[in-house]
């Protein structure tokens, strides 16, 4: 790769300006309404598709923009600065398709990545189950071979963009006697007979991105929709998260940046005791700490993104698992602290829906939970350090 390990190249900076302008014009004005109505915004999706920002990571050979991992991070970060729910469009499109990029046949990649690149379909990722969250290998969803088909039965839980995505990378047990090595990955289509969705979860944040169960009732799919060889699904799932935890870090950075930017503007305008509250050292120290935590998390995330790009290009990166967990954990913890402090800086106003920081605080919380809770991330990091 031509770009240095940490610093974005000039084209990354130009991309940031493009995405920020689009987000400020087409996404930010609707963010409060998206949160209030709890509806997926097809208008935002269309705006992202029109600008080719909905799935920038898809390689050019499948009709995509072929953006590197750092560019993808910047897109997600800038969309999340305006609206966290909307940032899950590029983020989850990556999450759903990375298993194919890592493990699928060329035929499967061409068949499913091209419609995503064209903006005709979104792609979700279905790993978790009601009783298999952090312990994903304990999943119960079964895929039973039947001739040249597999028949799938089970329930997947907490699936982001379920119901609006056309395609799902779904993990299911093909050999119950083999534990994690008996799990295989499949592409399931929304239109497959027997696929249905549970009611939308009523959530604290990211309300404009539906989270639902994916229910499989005797869903028969062709055997050629298996991603990789039988029994490699769990390995693919974990390898995928090494790349996509970085996109959750990016989302956290964007949410935090949005809150910090708003808080800085507010403290410079708000007057108490006859002067702007930005003049008070106690608040200056808060702003300084918020910015410091954000920049530290950003540098770690960009470093991890550069490693991810090299790994996708076929250069093994032995520290990618550690760095992606560290980036996700550091950025999401920082986002929670920064958004909470932003609410504090706005005082009573910060606690009302008239201002965006309470939404940002609610949205930040999920980044500490999904794609592996931060407690799991610390276990992953420790395992990498101690092995």
What amino acid positions are annotated as catalytic residues? 371
What does the alpha-carbon distance between residue 203 and residue 58 come to, in Å, rounded to a whole number?
30
The H or E element that residue 25 is part of is: none
Q: Give the residue from 188, 168, 185 showing the smallest Cα distance to 102.
A: 185
Residue with tokens 């119960």: 140
* CA neighbor of 378 nearest in space, from 327, 341, 325: 325
Residue 339: HSE in the Cβ half-sphere, 13 Å Cα cutoff: 29
Residue 166: other Cβ atoms inside 10 A: 16
> Using alpha carbons only, what angle is made at residue 213 by residues 210 and 217, rounded to the nearest 5 degrees?
140
Q: Which of 56, 75, 74 is nearest to 66 (CA)?
A: 56
Of 285, 275, 265, 282, which is closest to residue 346 (Cα–Cα)? Answer: 265
Do 93 and 64 meet the contact criterion of CB atoms below 8 Å apart? no
Residue 223 · residue 105 · CB < 8 Å: no
- Secondary structure (H, E, C), 63-120: CCCCCCHHHHHHHHHHHHHHCHHHHHHHHHHHHHHHHHHHHCCHHHHHHHHHHHHHCC
Tokens encoding 371: 């794609």
| Residue 102, CB-side half-sphere exposure with 13 Å CA sphere | 27
Other C-beta atoms lying within 10 Å of the C-beta of residue 161: 24
Token pair for 206: 């990211």
334 dihedral zone (left: phi>0; alpha: psi -120 to 50; beta): alpha
């Amino acid at each position: 790769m031509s770009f240095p390990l940490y610093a974005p190249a000039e084209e990354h900076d130009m991309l940031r300006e493009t995405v920020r302008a689009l987000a400020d014009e087409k996404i930010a004005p609707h963010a409060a309404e998206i949160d209030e109505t709890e509806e997926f915004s097809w208008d935002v999706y269309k705006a992202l598709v029109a600008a080719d920002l909905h799935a920038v990571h898809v390689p050019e050979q499948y009709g995509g923009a072929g953006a590197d991992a750092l560019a993808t991070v910047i897109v997600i970060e800038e969309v999340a600065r305006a609206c966290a729910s909307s940032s899950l469009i590029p983020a989850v499109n990556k999450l759903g398709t990375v298993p194919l990029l890592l493990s699928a046949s060329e035929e499967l990649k061409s068949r499913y990545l091209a419609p995503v690149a064209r903006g005709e379909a979104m792609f979700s990722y279905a790993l978790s189950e009601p009783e298999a969250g952090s312990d994903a290998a304990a999943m119960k969803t079964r895929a039973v071979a039947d001739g040249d088909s597999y028949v799938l039965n089970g329930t997947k839980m907490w699936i982001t963009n379920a119901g609006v995505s056309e395609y799902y990378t779904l993990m299911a047990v093909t050999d119950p006697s083999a534990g994690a090595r008996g799990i295989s990955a499949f592409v399931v289509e929304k239109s497959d007979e027997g696929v249905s969705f549970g009611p939308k979860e009523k959530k604290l944040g990211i309300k404009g991105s539906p989270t639902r169960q994916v229910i499989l009732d005797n869903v028969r799919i062709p055997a050629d929709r298996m991603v990789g060889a039988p029994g490699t699904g769990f390995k693919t799932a974990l390898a995928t998260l090494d790349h996509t935890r970085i996109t959750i870090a990016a989302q956290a950075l964007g949410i935090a940046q949005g809150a910090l930017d708003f808080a800085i503007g507010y403290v410079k305008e708000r007057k108490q005791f006859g002067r702007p509250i930005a003049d008070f050292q106690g608040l200056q120290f808060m702003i300084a700490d918020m910015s410091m935590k954000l920049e530290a998390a950003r540098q770690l995330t960009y470093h991890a993104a550069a490693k991810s790009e090299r790994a996708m290009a076929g250069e093994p990166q032995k520290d990618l698992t550690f760095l992606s967990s560290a980036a996700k954990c550091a950025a999401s913890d920082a986002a929670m602290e920064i958004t909470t402090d932003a609410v504090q800086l706005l005082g009573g106003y910060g606690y009302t829906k008239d201002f965006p920081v309470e939404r940002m605080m609610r949205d930040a919380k999920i980044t500490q939970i999904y794609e592996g809770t931060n407690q799991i991330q610390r276990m992953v990091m420790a395992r990498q350090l101690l092995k």
